C-alpha cells in the first residue's frame, strides 16, 4: 500500500482512492519570465515519477500543472527586455517545454494559464467579497481577510506566528492584518493594462489563480496537490484559505512538497539570480544522468547541488547500462521469481523512496552481470525487468549502446577512429594475429576506450 507524507497532517498516510481508481493531481507550475533551472528540474522530475509510478499501479491519474503567465516579475522582466509580457511568457513557456521534453518529463494532461482563466478568477473574488472574506483596500485592491478564516495557518503550522504579528505602519493603506493578501491588484499605472473587473482595471493576485485553476480542473476532488516546499507558505496556505471560503466542502487529500535545490546555502531561484539552467546542464550531461542525480536524494530533503555527485550519478547510471549491454530483450519468459520488483515497489510505496529504489536497480544490475556468465536467458529476463523498473523512474529508456557511446565526450572523428581500429582488430583476430589485436586494444585503452568481446560482437565504452 502506497504511503505518502502529507504536509498538512505531517504524517505518512495511505493514499486513499475511489473505486474507479481515479486520482486528480494538481502541481503548481512555473512563473514564466526566465529559463528553467535545476530546482524546477527536481520538482517536476519528481512529480513526473509520481505520475509514472501511480499509472504503473493501474491508477487513472489526471495531472494538471498550471502556468503563471502574468505576474509582477513577468511585467518587470518584460519592461527590462523591451518586450511585451505575452511575448516573454510565451517564449519562456516554449523554452520550458523544450527543457522538460529533453528531460523526458511527460507533459501534463492539462496546462492551464492564468490569462485564460481571468473570468473565473473574477467570479471567485466576487464570491469571497459577498461572503465577507475579502474587502476593498484604500488603494482599490481587493484583499483577502485572513482573520475571516479560522483555520488560517493550519497547513503551514504558523497560526500564532502570522496572526499575532504587529501590523507594520507601511501596510495600513492596504491591509487590516499583516497576513492579508491581494486577490485583485488594480492597475496603478498606464504601462500595463490589465483586465476589466467590477473593481476596475487590474489583474489577479498570485494565490487566487491556483484556487481558480485547480477548481476548474477538478471541482471538489483533489487527491494530490503539490509543489516545492517554498510554496507551503504563503502560496498554498492562502490558496487553501480561499478555496475553503468559497466552498466549505473543499478539501485536498494529500499535500506534497518537494525539498529545495540549494546552491551556496541558498534556494536556487530565478529571483535570487543564482540559477544553473537545465538547458546548460543538458549540454554537459545526458538527461538520464540528471534524472538519476535528482532522484538520488529523497524528494522531501533539501538537495545540495554538487558536480561531484552529478558525476557519481553518471558512473552509477553507466553501471546500469553496462549490465543491459549485450543481452537479448526479445527473450520472453515467465515473470521470473525474484525479490527485485517487490523491493522496488516497497521502496516506492514508502513515500516514493527513489534513492532506495535506485539502489535496488543497482543490485539487480549486479545479478544480471552474474547471470551473463552462467545463464544468458536468465540474464536477459532480468535485464528486461531492470529496464521496466527503470522506466518508472524515467531512466534506462535508451539503447545501451547509444547511451554508453554517447556519454563518452568525443567528436565524430574520434568515434570514426575507434570504429576503424575495432574493425582492424577484428580482421587481425580472424587471422589469429593476436599480437596486432592486442596492440590495437592497448592503443584504444590509451584513448580511454575499453573493449568488451562477446560471442557475437565487440563493444566499446569509455574508461571513465
Toward ligand ATP, which CB reaches closer, 118 or 261? 261
- By CB under 6 A, the residues from 210 to 249 that bind ligand ATP are 227-228, 230-231
Q: Hey, which residues does 398 pair with through a beta bridge?
A: none
Could you say whether residue 114 binds Zn ion (CB under 5 A)? no
CB of 359 to Zn ion, least distance (A): 33
Residue 460 CB contacts under 8 Å (≥ 6 apart), including other chains: 405, 418, 422, 444, 449, 450, 451, 452
What is the DSSP code string of 215-255? HHHHTT-EEEEEEEGGGIIIIIHHHHHHHHHH-TT--EEEE
Strand arrangement of the beta sheet that strand 261-263 belongs to: 266-267, 261-263, 303-304
Q: Which does 394 bind (CB under 5 to 8 A by kind): Zn ion, ligand ATP, none?
A: none
Binding residues for Zn(2+): 28, 210, 235, 239
267 lies in the site for ligand ATP, by CB under 6 A: yes
Residue 370 binding partner per list Zn ion, ligand ATP, none, with a CB distance cut-off of 5 to 8 Å that depends on partner kind: none
441 binds ligand ATP (CB under 6 A): no
- Residue showing cell 497560526: 159
Which is it for the CA torsion 158, 164, 169, 173, positive or negative? positive
Judged by CB under 5 A, the residue of 23, 27, 28, 322 near Zn ion is 28
Rounded least distance, CB 224 to ligand ATP, Å = 13
- Residue list 15-54, contact with ligand ATP (CB under 6 A): 28, 30-31, 39-40, 42-43
Residue 268 is a binding residue for ligand ATP (CB under 6 A): yes
Measured from the CB of residue 148, what is the shortest distance to ligand ATP in angstroms? Answer: 27
Q: Per-residue string for binding with Zn ion, 141-180, x by CB under 5 A?
A: ----------------------------------------
Grid coordinates given for 427? 580482421
Least distance to ligand ATP, CB of residue 31, Å: 4
Tell me the C-alpha distance between 51 and 352, whole Å: 11
Judged by CB under 5 A, does residue 210 bind Zn ion? yes
The residue among 203 and 425 lying less far from ligand ATP, judged by its C-beta, is 203
Q: Are 405 and 461 in contact (CB under 8 A)?
A: yes
Q: Which of residues 60-99 bind ligand ATP (CB under 6 A)?
A: 73
Look at strands 222-228 and 252-258 and give their pairing.
Answer: parallel
Count interface residues toward ligand ATP (CB under 6 A): 20
Q: Is there a contact between 58 and 89 (Cβ–Cβ < 8 Å)?
A: no
Integer Cα distance of 140 and 146 in angstroms: 18
Could you give the 3-state DSSP secondary structure of residue 27?
Answer: strand
Handedness of CA 346, 7, 53, 316 (dihedral sign): negative
Q: Which stretch binds ligand ATP (CB under 6 A): 75-83, 267-275, 384-392, 422-430?
A: 267-275
| Least CB distance to Zn ion at residue 99 (A) | 20
Q: Does 271 bind ligand ATP (CB under 6 A)?
A: yes
- Residue 68's contacts (CB-CB under 8 Å, 6 or more residues apart) are 29, 30, 31, 32, 74, 113, 114, 206, 209
Residue numbers at the binding site for Zn ion (CB under 5 A) = 28, 210
Q: Which residues bind ligand ATP (CB under 6 A)?
A: 28, 30-31, 39-40, 42-43, 73, 227-228, 230-231, 258, 260-261, 267-271
Amino acid at each position: 500500500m502506497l504511503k505518502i507524507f502529507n504536509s498538512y497532517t505531517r504524517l505518512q498516510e495511505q493514499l486513499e482512492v475511489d473505486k474507479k481508481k481515479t486520482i486528480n493531481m494538481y502541481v503548481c507550475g512555473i512563473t514564466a519570465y526566465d529559463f528553467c533551472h535545476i530546482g524546477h528540474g527536481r520538482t517536476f522530475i519528481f512529480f513526473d515519477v509520481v505520475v509514472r509510478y501511480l499509472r504503473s499501479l493501474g491508477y487513472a491519474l489526471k495531472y494538471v500543472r498550471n502556468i503563471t503567465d502574468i505576474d509582477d516579475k513577468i511585467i518587470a522582466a518584460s519592461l527590462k527586455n523591451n518586450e511585451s509580457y505575452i511575448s516573454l511568457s510565451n517564449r519562456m513557456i516554449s523554452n520550458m517545454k523544450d527543457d522538460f521534453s529533453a528531460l523526458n518529463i511527460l507533459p501534463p494532461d492539462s496546462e492551464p494559464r492564468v490569462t485564460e482563466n481571468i473570468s473565473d478568477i473574477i467570479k471567485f473574488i466576487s464570491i469571497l467579497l459577498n461572503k465577507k472574506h475579502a474587502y476593498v483596500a484604500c488603494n482599490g485592491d481587493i484583499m483577502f481577510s485572513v482573520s475571516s478564516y479560522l483555520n488560517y495557518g493550519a497547513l503551514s503550522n504558523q497560526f500564532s506566528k502570522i496572526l499575532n504579528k504587529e501590523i507594520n505602519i507601511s501596510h495600513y493603506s492596504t491591509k487590516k492584518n499583516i497576513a492579508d493578501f491581494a486577490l485583485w491588484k488594480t492597475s496603478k499605472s498606464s504601462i500595463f493594462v490589465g483586465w476589466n473587473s467590477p473593481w476596475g482595471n487590474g489583474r489577479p493576485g498570485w494565490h487566487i489563480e491556483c484556487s481558480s485553476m485547480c477548481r476548474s480542473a477538478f471541482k471538489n476532488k483533489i487527491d494530490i496537490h503539490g509543489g516545492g516546499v517554498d510554496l507551503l507558505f504563503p502560496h498554498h496556505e492562502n490558496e487553501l484559505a480561499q478555496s475553503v471560503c468559497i466552498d466549505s466542502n473543499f478539501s485536498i487529500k494529500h499535500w506534497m512538497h518537494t525539498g529545495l535545490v540549494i546552491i551556496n546555502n541558498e534556494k536556487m531561484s530565478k529571483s535570487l539570480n543564482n540559477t544553473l539552467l537545465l538547458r546548460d546542464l543538458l549540454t554537459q550531461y545526458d538527461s538520464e544522468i540528471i534524472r538519476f542525480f535528482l532522484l538520488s536524494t529523497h524528494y522531501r530533503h533539501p538537495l545540495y547541488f554538487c558536480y561531484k555527485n552529478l558525476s557519481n550519478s553518471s558512473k552509477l547510471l553507466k553501471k546500469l547500462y553496462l549490465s543491459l549491454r549485450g543481452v537479448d530483450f526479445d527473450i520472453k519468459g515467465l515473470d521470473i521469481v525474484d525479490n527485485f520488483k517487490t523491493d522496488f515497489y516497497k521502496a516506492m510505496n514508502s513515500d516514493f523512496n527513489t534513492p532506495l529504489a535506485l539502489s535496488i536497480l543497482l543490485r539487480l544490475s549486479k545479478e544480471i552481470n552474474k547471470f551473463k556468465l552462467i545463464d544468458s536467458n536468465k540474464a536477459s529476463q532480468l535485464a528486461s525487468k531492470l529496464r521496466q523498473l527503470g522506466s518508472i523512474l524515467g531512466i534506462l529508456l535508451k539503447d545501451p549502446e547509444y547511451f554508453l557511446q554517447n556519454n563518452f565526450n568525443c567528436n565524430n572523428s574520434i568515434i570514426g577512429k575507434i570504429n576503424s581500429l575495432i574493425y582492424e582488430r577484428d580482421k587481425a583476430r580472424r587471422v589469429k594475429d593476436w599480437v596486432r589485436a592486442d596492440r590495437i586494444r592497448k592503443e584504444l585503452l590509451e584513448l580511454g576506450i575499453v573493449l568488451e568481446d562477446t560471442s557475437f560482437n565487440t563493444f566499446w565504452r569509455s574508461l571513465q
